[in-house]
Each structure stands twice: as structure tokens, then as C-alpha cells.
Amino acid sequence: MNRSELVNQIRLKESFLCIGLDAELTQLPAHLLDFSDPVFEFNRQIIDATKNYCVAYKPNLAFYEALGKKGWESLERTVDYIPKTHFTIADAKRGDIGNTSRLYAKAFFETLNFDAVTVAPYMGEDSVKPFLEFKDKWAIVLALTSNKGAQDFQIPGDLYKHILRKAQTWGTPENLMFVVGATQADKLKEIRELVPDHFLLVPGVGAQGGDLTEVAGSALNKDVGLLINASRSIIYAGKEMDFAEKAATESISMQRLMKIAMTTKS
Amino acid sequence: MNRSELVNQIRLKESFLCIGLDAELTQLPAHLLDFSDPVFEFNRQIIDATKNYCVAYKPNLAFYEALGKKGWESLERTVDYIPKTHFTIADAKRGDIGNTSRLYAKAFFETLNFDAVTVAPYMGEDSVKPFLEFKDKWAIVLALTSNKGAQDFQIPGDLYKHILRKAQTWGTPENLMFVVGATQADKLKEIRELVPDHFLLVPGVGAQGGDLTEVAGSALNKDVGLLINASRSIIYAGKEMDFAEKAATESISMQRLMKIAMTTKS
């Protein structure tokens, strides 16, 4: 999916919500365990219930790899099931030497047909560039993450700012986004000044405690330029037969806040 | 595998060679393509031919993920086939927020039963710690990598030294190693002073141009404390029917240099 298609979907739905499809077998509603592929069935019902209120889905690879070959099958079925109107992100945080990153790019963009993959920046330019060489595909580079460990190396010496400055020269706002955690709202305005045009993928709203309206106020740009992700707060909003309805209700309430933020900004 | 078992294997074989099982379908000897699982058949023959000269095998996940579900099957079969006398490393360069890293650890240590996994440090302590909580399992944290991109963020401001200092407080020499590229031989002595006891996993000898004897001279410690990895220079030493013999020959010549280096040092 290219940038203008993504922006169109956002305007159409008045939503920049991304839903994290991070199902753990131990967390699923019990009745789903009778299905031959409980994780896919869970995702399918979540997608059906929420697709009108979000523009993107983001499976995190760890949740699938923990289940081995069967998890990989659930992931393939899930990606195939997501409507083509939705932007798909492999939250994989990959990054390796050039010839290896090229194969990760192939895995996510060709074998699995994702639109985007999250990439860890530590190994530098040649570890990121292979993800930028596929038409209408995206690399989403970690800048400032939502977890406590962001304090260890990202914030001291403003490393994340250095990464934002340097990495934006490797791609364009048409094929490169950045991850900025919602729990870092105080730094979002400055980040937006450093990368005025790029989309930001913002996890950390919901279970991790970030505030949607605060994030939107600091980081919306002329093309919206934001994907705010929620995972657990949506997919585990309910744990019974009506889990998908509950997920829809939670998505709608986030979408309404997004609509207000978009209207206020424009 | 615990540290003393690993050190015993190294002493027994007079080798600290790790072989990277990074098979690409397009690079395999043509006659293997008739097998139902060419990648596993390639790995099986490489393992049979080289196991007396190395102490560890390191499949890089990218090469398997590029093949989708079938690649995951080849990986599972490969890990099962590696003799229990050999240390197994999932070269995956993972790292995510705590609840997610925990699932990656489960994927590699339980679902796949690897001894170790490579971990990217960018997300800090809570992204690494979950890999350190499994008995006789190891996290191998990226410090200074072998690629050109190491110049972008690792070397400026001595970030890699800061990571070595900080990350060694998260684990012990019994469950934590560091990746240091062989192409960074000029920095190895200083790195060895910073982490005198930890094992170092050193890629970059062979196809990437690092020098084995130089690396060993700078970084061997009292328990050897080194795993030097070669991938392409061994597994693609030959491309015909005799590829496994050629891989053995290449492994033997590296093992001989290692034996000399160990003898010189002790």
C-alpha cells in the first residue's frame, strides 16, 4: 500500500487506529480452543468486528513464533484474511547485515505479503536499506520505544534523535516510518519537528498507559501522519463469547477520539 | 548447555568453531533440489561432515523465514538433527518489550530448544532480561557488529562500550555472551578488558574478511571464551556433489588454526 492510499483510508474512516493482533493461547476465550486453529479464529473474529474502525493491523511475530510451525500457519492465514483496504505491519523488529536483512525483507514483503515491517536500527544503514527497496512497502524504524528500557540507550546522549536524523536520509516519507512510544508524549513535539512529514507508528496507548489525545495533539501532521496502535486493550477487552463485540466497542471509542483530534487539528 | 559443558567440548575438539547454517535455495548444489526438503538435506550433510571440527551451529532465522512455513519446518528438523554435544545458536537478533521478548525466548528455548539466541540491545534491559531467565540457556547481545553500518550508531560516542558495560550487569558469564565482529579486530583487546570473562561470538571471519589468528590473539581468555563463526566460506566452499567434503576441508583448516592459537595462548 502506498502513502496516498493509506492517507485516503485514514480520511475515509476518520481513524488512524492500528490494532495489534498479539494473541496468546493462554489468553484466548476458552470456547475458541475447540477450533483447529484457535489463534486464526480469534484474529478472524477480531478483524470482522473491528475493520470498520481501524486502518491497520499489526501482528507481533513473537506471539506466532512461540507456537512454532503452527504459529507460522496462523500468521499466514491471518495476513491473507486482512482486507486489502488495511495496512499490514509485521512487528518483527528485525535487522541484520545486508545479505540477511534482504532475506527478512523477502520473508515479510514477498512470502507473507505485509505492507510494512518494524526494523531495529542498531546495525545501521546497510541493515535497514534492504527493507526500503520494495515498491509500496515500508520499513518502520524503532526510534523511541514505549518500554522502561528506552532509558538505557535510546535517551542518554539523545541517541534516538541521532537515529531520526540519520535514518530519514535512507528513505523517504513514502517508504519509511518511525516507532515512537506513546509513553514518551513529552518528547513527541520535538520528534515531530525532526521528522515533520514521516508517519509515526505509536504503540503504548492502552495497556501501557499512553494518552491518545495527548499523542494526537503533539504529532498529527497535514497528512495525519500517525498510526496509533493498541493491542491488549482491544483484543482482550472481553474474554467471553462476546470478546469480538467488546473489541469493537473499544475500537469505536478510540476511533471517536481520533475523529475529534483530526477535526480539531484541521 | 551450560558453560562448563561448552568449555569441555572446546578443549576436547581443540576448536572454537561455530558454523553458520545459512542456506539459500538459490545457492544450493543443484542435485539437492530433488529432495523434498533441500535445505534440511543440505544442513544434514554439512553437519555430518563438519561436526568433529566445530563446537556450535548457528542457523540465521532470516534464511528460514524467507521460505515461510516450509522454512520453519526445515529449521525445526535441523535443530533436532544437531548432536546434543553441540551448542546451538538461533541467530535471530530479537528484542522487544518485556512481555514480547518473553515469547521470543519461549520460541527459541522451548519450542525450538536452542541453547542460545542473539539479541539486539536497542530496547534496553527489559527487552533482554527475559532471555536470561531460562536454565542453561544464553542470550548473546549484539555489541559491535561486523558490517559497515556499525559505524552509524555503535561506534560514535562508544555506544558499544556503554552497552558492554551495562548489559554485563544484567546477566553473568554463565548465561550472557556478546557479539563482536571479526572485522573490528583493532577493538577486540579493549573489549576483552571490558568483559574479561564472557564468551564472545565473533562473526565476520571468512566471506566478510576478518582474520582468525588475529581475533584469537586478542580475545582468547582462560576458558577460551570465544566462538568464531564462519558461514558462507564453509557451507559454500563447494557447489557440486562434494560440497560437504569441501565444507569439512575448510572446517579442518580453521580448526587447525584454532588449535595453534589455543596452544600458543596456554
Is the pLDDT at A208 greater than 90, yes or no?
no
From A145's Cα to the closest Cα of chain B, the distance in A is 7
CA nearest A157 in B: which residue? B157
User: What's the one-letter identity of residue B60?
Assistant: N
Residue A90's pLDDT is 98
How near does any CA of chain A get to the CA of B31, in Å? 23
Mean pLDDT of all residues in A45-51: 98
Residues A69, B73: C-beta atoms closer than 8 Å:
yes
Backbone phi, psi, residue B234, to 5°: -95, -55
At B67 the pLDDT is 96
Chain B residues close to A95, C-beta within 8 Å: 93, 120
Task: Provide mean pLDDT across the span A255-260.
Answer: 96
**By the 8 A CB rule, do A88 and A116 touch?**
yes
| DSSP one-letter string for B228-242 | EEESHHHHTS--STT
Q: Where residue B175 falls among pLDDT bands split at 50, 70, 90?
A: very high
- Strand-pair category, B17-20 with B116-119: unpaired
Torsion region of A202: left, alpha or beta (phi above 0 gives left; psi -120 to 50 gives alpha): beta
CB-CB: which of B62, B100, B106 is closest to A96?
Answer: B62
The answer, yes or no, to whether residue B266 has pLDDT greater than 70, is no
Q: For chain A, state the CA radius of gyration.
A: 17
Residue A184: the pLDDT is 78
Q: Which three cell numbers stand for residue A77?
A: 492465514
3-state secondary structure chain A: CCHHHHHHHHHHHCCCEEEECCCCHHHCCHHHHHCCCHHHHHHHHHHHHHCCCCCEEECEHHHHHCCHHHHHHHHHHHHHHCCCCCEEEEEEEECCCHHHHHHHHHHHHHHCCCCEEEECCCCCHHHHHHHHCCCCCEEEEEEECCCCCHHHHCCHHHHHHHHHHHHCCCCCCCCEEEEECHHHHHHHHHHHHHCCCCCEEECCECCCCECHHHHHHHHCECCECEEEEECHHHHCCCCCCCHHHHHHHHHHHHHHHHHHHHHHHC
Q: If we measure between CA atoms, which residue out of B10, B67, B23 comes closest to residue B234?
A: B23
**From A65, A149, A157, residue closest to B157, measured CB to CB:** A157
pLDDT at A205: 86
- Taking the CA atoms of residue B210, residue B83, residue B237 and residue B64 in that order, the dihedral angle to the nearest 10 degrees is -80
Please give the backbone phi and psi of residue A211, each rounded to the nearest 5 degrees, phi first: -105, 120
Residue B140 has what pLDDT? 98
Q: In whole angstroms, give the CA distance from residue A152 to residue B169.
A: 12
Q: What is the pLDDT of residues A66-80, one digit of tens each?
A: 999 999 999 999 999
ipTM attached to this prediction: 0.95
Cβ distance of A97 and B163 shorter than 8 Å? no
pLDDT band at B186 (very low <50, low <70, confident <90, very high): confident
Helices A243-265 and A212-219: angle between axes, nearest 10 degrees = 30
Supply A175's cell numbers: 517508504
At B231 the pLDDT is 95
Render pLDDT for B215-242 as a digit per residue (tens, 0 to 9): 999 999 999 999 999 999 999 999 999 9
* Tally of CB atoms within 10 A around B210: 22
The minimal CB distance from B107 to the residues A62, A124, A159 is found for A62
In this prediction, residues A192-196 reach a mean pLDDT of 96
Residue of chain B whose alpha carbon sits nearest to that of A95: B93
Average pLDDT of chain B to the nearest whole number: 96
Residue A166: its pLDDT value, please? 97
Report CB contact under 8 Å: A93, B94: yes
Using the structure block, give the residue that is written with the C-alpha cell 523488529: A93
What stretches of B138-188 adopt beta strand conformation (E)?
138-144, 176-180
pLDDT band at B79 (very low <50, low <70, confident <90, very high): very high
In angstroms, the CA A119 to CA A92 distance is 7
In this structure, which amino acid lies at residue B156? P
Cβ of B166 within 8 Å of Cβ of A152? The answer is yes
Range B79-93 average pLDDT: 98
- With a pLDDT cut of 70, the percent of chain A lying above it is 98
Residue B210 has pLDDT above 80, yes or no: no
Contact B124 A76 (CB under 8 A): no
- What is the C-alpha separation between A120 and A90, in angstroms, rounded? 13
CA B189, CA A64: separation in Å to the nearest integer?
A: 40
Q: Contacts of residue B111 in chain A, CB cutoff 8 Å?
A: 65-68
Residues paired with A200 in a beta bridge? A178, A226
Decide if B148 and A100 are in contact by the 8 Å CB cutoff. no
The answer for B68, left when phi > 0, alpha when psi is -120 to 50, beta otherwise, is left
pLDDT at residue A28 above 70?
Answer: yes
pLDDT digits (tens, 9 = 90+) for B100-124: 999 999 999 999 999 999 999 999 9
Residue A207 has pLDDT above 90, yes or no: no
Listed range (A116-125, B81-90, B97-106, B177-186) with the worst mean pLDDT = B177-186
User: Are A177 and A90 spatial neighbours (Cβ–Cβ below 8 Å)?
Assistant: no
* Packing angle, helices B38-50 and B243-265, rounded to 10: 40
Residue A25 contacts by C-beta under 8 Å, 6 or more apart in sequence? Answer: A33, A38, A39, A67
Question: Which of A65, A67, A119, A178 should be substituted to probe chain B, the one whose Cβ sees the most B Cβ atoms within 10 Å?
Answer: A65
Q: Is A93 a catalytic residue?
A: yes
Q: pLDDT tier at B185 (50, 70, 90 boundaries)?
A: confident
The pLDDT tens digits of the residues spanning A224-244 come to 999 999 999 999 999 999 999
- Measured between CB atoms, which of B68, B91, B103 is closest to A63? B103
Half-sphere exposure of B185 (CA within 13 A, CB side): 17
Partner-chain contact A72 B69, CB within 8 Å: yes
Which pLDDT belongs to residue A266?
Answer: 67
A56 residue type, one letter: A
Q: CB B120 to CB A65 under 8 A? A: no
Q: Which of B103, B152, B154 has its CB closest to that of A62?
A: B103
User: Which residues from chain A sit within 8 angstroms of residue B67, using beta carbons?
Assistant: 107, 111
Model confidence at B265: pLDDT above 70: yes
Average predicted confidence (pLDDT) for chain A: 96
Catalytic residue among B13, B51, B58, B93: B93
**Taking 90 as the threshold, does the pLDDT of residue A121 lie above it?**
yes
Q: Which residues of B touch A125 (CB under 8 A)?
A: 148-149, 152
Give how far A247 is from chain B: nearest CA, Å.
Answer: 21
- pTM of full prediction above 0.90: yes
Q: What is the mean pLDDT of residues B44-53?
A: 98
**pLDDT-derived band of residue B42, with 50, 70 and 90 as boundaries?**
very high
User: B190, B220 in Cβ contact below 8 A?
Assistant: no
Residue B90 with chain A: CB contacts under 8 Å: none
Residue that wins the pLDDT comparison between A29 and A205? A29
CA distance B159 to chain A (A): 8
Cβ <8 Å between A153 and B122: yes
Q: Nearest chain B residue to A101 by CA: give it.
A: B62
Do the Cβ atoms of B62 and A150 come within 8 Å? no
Q: Counting every residue, how long is chain A?
A: 266
Are B145 and A151 inside 8 Å of each other by CB?
no
Q: Which DSSP string corresponds to B55-77?
A: SEEE-BHHHHHTTHHHHHHHHHH
- Which three three-digit cell numbers place residue A45? 473474529
Distance from CA of A92 to the nearest CA of B (A): 8
| pLDDT confidence of residue A265 | 76
The number of helix segments (H) and strand segments (E) in chain B equals 12, 8
- Report the alpha-carbon angle A62-A65-A70, nearest 5: 140
Which of B51, B63, B60, B64 shows the shortest CA–CA distance to B12? B51
Rounded to an integer, the average pLDDT of B21-41 is 96
